[in-house]
């Protein structure tokens, strides 16, 4: 009975595999799918009838359509035999006996008699495995990362160690499909019907990438904030997705060799939130205050402070108080922090000169100036 079944299976499989087929991308794929098998269209609106062909044999003359944004990997008995990166329609050709077809001009003896005999020796099954897989060449989004506790790094601008809890996402790209399949994709995903998806929670390989990204965040923050070209400001992180993506990609490459060993690269990031620890928040407040008092803004603040002091002195001490404050403001240089040049305390000329400067600046009135002048001259 087994012999009859083997003969029947061998002959029936050979006849079914004589038909050319049409392979394309399976329907209903998620946008984050990275690798999946090409599927044959055995039926088309009820007109096709080739539904009994072997799942691991591609008949010579079959067409494979490669859509935009995908590459095509060809396999023979588990080994990669070809790769196509350009979109378009392609025809399958193989020297393997199992692929020969009378419809592809391979004669009659090879496709029928030889195949039947070879398959009979394997209990009716083909003695080879052939497969076509699509690999995404697009950016694969929605790969998330996050830390449960603070991570710490040395910050070049603040000059000390800072810490934060952060979360976000990154966009991944397969830059070397052959390296990716050979060195990273588990064998269980190189089967018909399987889809390798980086966002699949049940994908252990994808979970490993998540852990490696989290482990690279602190070095990535350090690379970014200690790069003079980026201004050494951690506050720029959420506004510079491409710049931080390069830092994160470099950190991942240094730690885990994603690009050189796995053919993967991080191309974009989106930091959703950064929650700094208490010490870092205090440091940032100090930096903000220092920024507010720097340059022209700081000079304006200083002049306003001096003017307020002059106003208070005038209210409390009258014209005499204004003279004293005016002399002090001259020592510090309201316009630019000059070195003190103190005139003699009893020099009436110096007092009048300073009073005239204050009048010209609008700090005192004409009546105040006249009173100071009269006092200085002893009138």
pLDDT: which is higher, 128 or 285: 285
Beta-sheet pairing, 63-66 with 22-24: parallel
Here the CATH number for the domain that contains residue 190 is: 3.30.479.30
* Mean pLDDT to the nearest integer, 15-37: 76
pLDDT value at residue 313: 53
- Tokens 């003190």 found at: 340
Kindly state whether residues 248 and 217 are assigned to the same domain: yes
pLDDT value at residue 260: 94
Domain boundary among 259, 287, 315: 287
Q: Is 374 helix (H, G, I), strand (E, B) or coil?
A: helix
Kindly state whether residues 126 and 23 are assigned to the same domain: yes
Single out the residue of 373, 252, 368 nearest to residue 310, CA to CA.
Answer: 368
pLDDT: which is higher, 197 or 371: 197
Single out the residue of 64, 123, 110 nearest to residue 88, CA to CA.
Answer: 64
Kindly state whether residues 326 and 304 are assigned to the same domain: yes
Residue 187 above 60 pLDDT? Answer: yes
Kindly state whether residues 174 and 244 are assigned to the same domain: yes
CA 264 to CA 178: how far, in whole Å?
A: 11
Residue 276 above 80 pLDDT? Answer: yes
pLDDT value at residue 169: 93
The winner for highest mean pLDDT among 273-282, 283-292, 326-335 is: 273-282
pLDDT value at residue 316: 55
Kindly state whether residues 154 and 180 are assigned to the same domain: yes
Condensed to tens digits (0 to 9), the pLDDT of residues 38-76 reads 888 754 444 444 555 556 667 667 788 889 999 989 888
Kindly state whether residues 336 and 266 are assigned to the same domain: no
Report how many domains make up the chain. Answer: 3
Kindly state whether residues 301 and 283 are assigned to the same domain: no
Kindly state whether residues 59 and 8 are assigned to the same domain: yes
Condensed to tens digits (0 to 9), the pLDDT of residues 104-136 reads 444 444 444 444 434 443 444 444 677 889 999
pLDDT value at residue 327: 47
Domain boundary among 88, 114, 136: 136
Kindly state whether residues 277 and 330 are assigned to the same domain: no
- How far apart, in Å, are the Cα atoms of 34 and each of 45, 178, 184, 208, 262? 29, 13, 12, 16, 13
CA 193 to CA 206: how far, in whole Å?
A: 18
CA 94 to CA 60: how far, in whole Å?
A: 6
Work out the mean pLDDT of the chain and round it to a whole number.
74
pLDDT value at residue 167: 92
Which helix (DSSP H) or strand (DSSP E) does residue 73 occupy?
A: strand 70-76
Kindly state whether residues 144 and 274 are assigned to the same domain: yes
Q: What pTM value is reported for the model?
A: 0.63
Condensed to tens digits (0 to 9), the pLDDT of residues 198-251 reads 999 889 998 999 999 999 999 999 999 888 877 767 778 778 888 889 999 999
Domain boundary among 248, 265, 287: 287
* Burial readout 243-279 (b: 16 or more C-beta within 10 A, e: otherwise): bbbbbbbbbbbeebebbeebbbbbbbbebeebebbee
Q: Which of 71-80, 123-132, 188-197, 344-353 has the lowest mean pLDDT?
A: 123-132
Kindly state whether residues 143 and 251 are assigned to the same domain: yes
Kindly state whether residues 132 and 143 are assigned to the same domain: no
Residue 2 above 50 pLDDT? Answer: no
Percent over 90 (pLDDT), the chain: 26
How is residue 303 written in tokens? 């002049």
Domain that holds residue 338: 295-376
CA 54 to CA 125: how far, in whole Å?
A: 8
CA 63 to CA 44: how far, in whole Å?
A: 15
């Amino acid at each position: 009975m087994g012999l009859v079944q083997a003969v029947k299976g061998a002959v029936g499989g050979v006849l079914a595999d004589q038909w050319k087929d049409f392979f394309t991308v399976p329907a209903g794929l998620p946008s984050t799918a990275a690798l999946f098998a090409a599927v044959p269209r055995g039926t088309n609106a009820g007109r096709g009838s080739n539904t009994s062909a072997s799942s691991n044999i591609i008949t010579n003359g079959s067409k494979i359509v490669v859509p935009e944004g995908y590459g095509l990997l060809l396999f023979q008995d588990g080994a990669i035999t070809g790769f196509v990166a350009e979109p378009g329609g392609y025809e399958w050709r193989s020297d393997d006996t199992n692929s020969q077809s009378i419809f592809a001009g391979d004669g009659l003896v090879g496709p029928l008699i030889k195949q039947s005999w070879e398959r009979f020796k394997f209990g009716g099954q083909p003695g080879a495995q052939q497969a076509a897989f699509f690999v995404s060449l697009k950016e694969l989004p929605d790969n998330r990362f996050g830390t449960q506790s603070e991570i710490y790094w040395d910050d070049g601008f603040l000059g000390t160690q800072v810490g934060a809890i952060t979360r976000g996402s990154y966009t991944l790209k397969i830059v070397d499909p052959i390296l990716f399949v050979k060195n990273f994709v588990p064998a269980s995903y190189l089967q018909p019907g399987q889809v390798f998806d980086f966002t699949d929670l049940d994908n252990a390989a994808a979970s490993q990438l998540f852990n490696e990204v989290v482990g690279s965040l602190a070095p990535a923050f350090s690379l970014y904030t200690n790069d003079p070209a980026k201004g050494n400001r951690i506050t720029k992180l959420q506004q510079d997705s491409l710049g931080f993506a390069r830092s994160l990609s470099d950190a991942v490459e240094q730690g885990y060799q994603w690009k050189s060993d796995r053919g993967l690269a991080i191309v974009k990031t989106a930091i959703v939130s950064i929650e700094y620890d208490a010490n870092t928040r205090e440091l940032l407040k100090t930096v903000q205050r220092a920024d507010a008092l720097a340059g022209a803004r700081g000079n304006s603040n200083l002049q306003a402070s001096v003017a307020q002091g002059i106003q208070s002195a005038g209210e409390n001490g009258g014209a005499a108080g204004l003279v004293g404050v005016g002399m002090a403001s001259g020592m510090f240089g309201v316009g630019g922090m000059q070195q003190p040049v103190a005139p003699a305390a009893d020099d009436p000329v110096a007092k009048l000169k300073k009073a005239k400067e204050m009048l010209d600046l609008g700090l005192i009135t004409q009546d105040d100036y006249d009173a100071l002048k009269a006092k200085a001259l002893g009138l």
